[in-house]
Amino acid sequence: MNETNTANPWLVLTGLSLGVLVTNGFARFAYGLILPAMRADLDWTYAQAGWLNTANALGYILGAAGTMLALRRRGPAGLFAAGLVMTALSLVATGLVPALWWQSLWRFIAGLFGALSFSTAGALAARLWANDPKRNALGIGILFGSGGGMAIVLAGATLPLMLAEWGDSAWPWAWLIVGGLSLLCVPLGLWAALKAPPVPRRDVNAPALPLARMLPQFAGYAGFGLGYIVYLTFLSAWMKEQAASALQVALVWVLLGACISLSPLLWRGVFARHASGRPLALVLTGIAVGSALPVLWPTLPGLVVSAMVFGSCVFMAPSAVTNFTRQNLPSESWGSAIALFTLVFAVAQTVGPYAAGMLGDHAGSIGVALLAGSAVLLVGAAIVSRQKPL
């Protein structure tokens, strides 16, 4: 680090993780906990409920594409900071008006600016221990795992019980609480962006990314985007179909978040050893198993095992592609490559929630959609297993 960037790298990583907590944990996955109350209070179909996450994903597409263009002119630190601030504000706004158009607008904006922060956080974290592969892999895993995992623990421990006590009509307060917690994370996140080691700017005349040789990795990540979001959008709705109590919902989500937070410790060795598609293939297989278990084993023990398996894998998919990028490409290409992976992921996850909601409406149960998501993830795992090191 140079003289202006002598901050403790673990503290910088903590600030970057808070950015992921806001933009990936609260902005995208808290919706799955609030969804059953919103759907009951506003009389939505599953397709309408899924549409809001599709609107979020559409914003994510635009944000990921915009990040790729903006990185030609600006460093990732400024984009991370702008995305964090606007995402936090969008979560507060979500709780103000119940109209579907308003909800769609702010879910879109949360996706747009969330992608800015998420696409750049990995590039910033990858520079903290650039010459230490094991610590680097652990840091990237902590970035995505602990940030998102803690958001799910906090939301899972409070929102289901609060909504059960206050009633479905209290869902706006859930968004205001989530938004308020997000605003508290902003100062440290902004400081971390300022103190993170600078990422070399990509030269416009530099060789293009070897896209053809990276196709299996892109295809696997697309399968991740299409399949994983079904579980996190509709898990609580499935549990409500099974007459689960608010306490059971809270237990499952807290376990899910705790396992997400601990998952970097399970995967750091795999990421450090392999520069191929094997880590992502293993991650996708685990997510697929976790997604199917609630339907195949629809009891509380089954849901607990499902949450533990799914949580131990799900946020390691971004870590897998970030480590693949770091191990196979020059550092000046990291930001652009991660933004491109995020764009592929965003396009895929746009389809998932709405299609799953329509499938659930048609079948009369959202469990069918969970199984479909699991099948997509297994296909993605099979494809990405063919990815060779570059």
Give the Cα separation of 339 and 68 in Å (integer).
6
pLDDT of 148 strictly over 90: no
**Interval 118-138: pLDDT, tens:** 888 888 888 888 777 778 778
pLDDT at 310: 96
pLDDT at 224: 95
pLDDT of 289 strictly over 80: yes
The token duo for 262 is: 């601990």
Q: Which of 120-129, 181-190, 309-318 has the least mean pLDDT?
A: 120-129
Domains of the chain and any CATH numbers: 9-198+211-384 (1.20.1250.20)
pLDDT at 190: 95
What is the number of other CB atoms lying within 10 angstroms of the CB of residue 94? 27
Q: 2 falls in which pLDDT band (50, 70, 90)?
A: very low
Region 340-351: mean pLDDT is 85
C-alpha distance from residue 11 to each of 75, 115, 193, 316 (Å)? 20, 23, 11, 21
Give the Cα separation of 318 and 358 in Å (integer).
27
**Interval 247-263: pLDDT, tens:** 998 899 899 989 988 88
Contact between 229 and 352 under an 8 Å Cβ cutoff? The reply is yes
- Identify each DSSP E strand in 131-233 by its residue range: none
pLDDT at 4: 39
pLDDT at 206: 62
Listing DSSP states for 95-133 in one string gives TT---HHHHHHHHHHHHHHHHHHHHHHHHHHTTTTTT-H
Region 302-326: mean pLDDT is 92
pLDDT at 205: 58
C-alpha distance from residue 127 to each of 135, 233, 279, 332 (Å)? 11, 33, 21, 11
Region 240-248: mean pLDDT is 87
Region 145-159: mean pLDDT is 85
Q: Is 28 helix (H, G, I), strand (E, B) or coil?
A: helix
pLDDT at 89: 97
Q: 151 falls in which pLDDT band (50, 70, 90)?
A: confident
pLDDT of 1 strictly over 70: no
What percent of the chain stands above pLDDT 70? 96
What percent of the chain stands above pLDDT 90? 45
pLDDT at 178: 94
Q: Is 142 helix (H, G, I), strand (E, B) or coil?
A: helix
pLDDT of 3 strictly over 50: no
Of 93-102, 125-134, 205-214, the range with the highest mean pLDDT is 93-102
pLDDT at 345: 86
pLDDT at 358: 85
Contact between 110 and 87 under an 8 Å Cβ cutoff? The reply is yes
Q: 114 falls in which pLDDT band (50, 70, 90)?
A: very high
pLDDT of 91 strictly over 90: yes
